[in-house]
Structure 1
């Protein structure tokens, strides 16, 4: 155990200075060994204190000196020096300790807490109090008001610290946002996560805020709340992009924020992205409509088998005959296309066993897919598998993956048609790609040069030592010096590094390409999906539970933010 620790408020406590923790008397080691676990200590003697057999083993002796030289024949209280004859019972000594707010339970009381029975709320509270009092009798459990005050105080303190730290980040920030409604108490929250690349070229993200949202969920209101949070943290002019789902309110929010930022030259224009995973979902669902009839047959067959234990057992038997590992059939859900992929893939894996089952069971035979249906399943699996991998890849990626833009579905083409300059820039700044994935290389080379000009101008204004201070480097026509051209040209001329991790590459080449590395630090932080915000709400669901359904939204906000900050080593 550490010699010191800190309270939630940050006050240091030296546990060696607490009076009741003193060096045990000789003989105490016969009762408690420092290397023993709590359960070993509790089970070492009998479960119930008796007047004789457990007198020396009771936990009251943490607070009494037994037969000291200064008072032979007595037990002396370490707190107030009160004396009790050696023949005094443990119960008598325990009652004395209660005067000092030391509530020492009997071993029977402690052992009873080990029973794995469900607790009602009041019983659970009593159980917790007894448990804490046994191990640390001096500790006074704070009431709910004090606990709430400590949580809010910690939230405010850490928030101020994070605000200060964000101003030290060298590049710009991208955001993801999502709306979530608690299924427990219907409280609504707006989650906002922040993403950036730090000075060591590590992609970082954490929950910036999760705001109780009590007003109408319009795009304008959402954009105003996000803007308010950004202004509170003082980072409005460092935001490069926002990624959200495809809900209409979020699309309006993106337009509102882009409009608010468009006049600020140094922000290089804010951009809003639609979650690429959601785009894939919409596109694939549209494409699957052509296979509706065959997929409907698959669902009906799977439903029939899953509802019958006898048929399921027969399928398992036939899997054994065909030496196929038996796995339960999967039924898809309408809202997630990848569940249809998993359903068809599992069905195809069990096809040999299903063929035997159809020959053995008339009901299954009547529902068994035709050869044409099986061909449709096979083709859809081949088509959906790379898209399923793309969804997983996009959800974990550190920047938009433009390679996925060549989708065959009309819906996806419709969305990617509005792909903006930032998406293209992110792809070019990936050392694995550069210009190789684009058909019109000449046009895009001009595009990346235009972005480069803006960064060159910003570098001239804020980091004059890194670039030429000649009139050519600062003119409003953005003319580029020969050395600066060579930096861009040298980067584009390098062979593609197909096996490299992009951020590791830029970490190694930042000094060689100072301006372009600034571009990479900004653009590669942009998120392809809004998964990060959705994950924050998974944690929220574990915080706002049925037993905590009266948790105030502001308290829930503080709990969730501080948890994210601690998890990401941003808070003490």
Structure 2
């Protein structure tokens, strides 16, 4: 039976925390069974102490999968940039533990698991999106490659980004001329700057605020950071579709179903009434309003000035009393 690693981890953690209740449950169902043969089989399901210890060891191995999977399974934030570091980290963690004596009972399983991780990792080479998304993370960029990849792979990643940047620059400026030397300066200005993302600020908001500083990079970020690292959310949306299209609503057209799904998502994530993000239109509107207020204040005599000021009013009230 195929079981996802994170699901197995959560199940085992819960069982380990409540092992006394698990043992009591097995004992009770075995005690209530009148057939002796079935009762014996149920009684054999009770875990011995050494079996619980092995389950705890298994949990120690699966915690790595759960942490890595959560790293690139977000539905609300870009997470494709975490895929390569997560896979490399998981492969390293399990490879190290294959030779450790305490994990001997899991040696074969660990070997098979590391091979599966290697297969997943090799598939990241089928698309450039993983590397590009890492460069589009402002406080990360190429730091991971410099720290963990050899010189040839680093250069390969740098060449890729140079190519992608130049192609996007040419597309945005609608010219077939070689994008030299303008693109070099823009590209290096971003790569050579130590950016900082403050706590509470998402990568998306950062790019929204810096779209004018790095227009070409921001254009790439718009395309690549929106790519989901896993298909979990799309599968969930597909499953929710079967709830929307019930037996009583089986004649809904595709555009209506799409609209209903989008509306449900917006309501569930409180997206209907959201403050507008940073944009040139918003900034221009605010600027015009501020200029208008300044002109009004400069050309209008306030009520306080006409009556002598607020302090004078207070004095007059005191005199009247």
1:180-218 Cα deviation digits (max 9, x unpaired): xxxxxxxxxxxxxxxxxxxxxxxxxxxxxxxxxxxxxxx
Question: Residue in 2 aligned with 1:398?
Answer: 78
**Distance across 1 between alignment mates of 2:129 and 2:25:** 54
Question: Residue in 2 aligned with 1:415?
Answer: 120
Question: Residue in 2 aligned with 1:488?
Answer: 187
TM-score, normalized by length of structure 2? Answer: 0.57
Unaligned runs of 5+ in 1: 1-332, 463-472
* Cα pair distance change 1:344/1:565, threshold 3 Å: closer
Aligned partner of 2:169 among 430, 442, 456: 456
Residues 78, 226 of structure 2: 8 Å contact kept: yes
Question: Residue in 2 aligned with 1:169?
Answer: none
* Cα pair distance change 1:546/1:510, threshold 3 Å: closer
Question: Residue in 1 aligned with 2:66?
Answer: 388
**Distance across 2 between alignment mates of 1:387 and 1:562:** 36
1:20-53 Cα deviation digits (max 9, x unpaired): xxxxxxxxxxxxxxxxxxxxxxxxxxxxxxxxxx
TM-score, normalized by length of structure 1? Answer: 0.34
**Distance across 1 between alignment mates of 2:60 and 2:193:** 35
Question: Residue in 1 aligned with 2:259?
Answer: 562
Question: Residue in 1 aligned with 2:17?
Answer: 349
**Distance across 2 between alignment mates of 1:355 and 1:539:** 37
Structure 1 position 452, deviation (Å): 0.9
Structure 1 position 366, deviation (Å): 4.3
* Cα pair distance change 1:399/1:456, threshold 3 Å: same
Query: Is 1:428 paired with 2:135?
Result: yes
**Distance across 2 between alignment mates of 1:335 and 1:367:** 20
Q: Which has the higher strand share?
A: 1
**Secondary structure in structure 2 of the residue aligned to 1:510:** coil
Larger radius of gyration between Structure 1 and Structure 2: 1
CA RMSD between the two structures: 3.4
Residues 398, 525 of structure 1: 8 Å contact kept: yes
Question: Residue in 1 aligned with 2:301?
Answer: none
Residues 399, 523 of structure 1: 8 Å contact kept: no
* Cα pair distance change 1:376/1:539, threshold 3 Å: same
**Secondary structure in structure 2 of the residue aligned to 1:474:** coil
Q: Which has the higher helix share?
A: 2
Residues 429, 520 of structure 1: 8 Å contact kept: yes
Unaligned runs of 5+ in 2: 32-39, 92-113, 273-321
Residues 344, 377 of structure 1: 8 Å contact kept: yes
Question: Residue in 1 aligned with 2:223?
Answer: 522
Question: Number of residue pairs matched?
Answer: 220
1:446-477 Cα deviation digits (max 9, x unpaired): 22111111112112317xxxxxxxxxx823xx
**Distance across 1 between alignment mates of 2:227 and 2:195:** 21
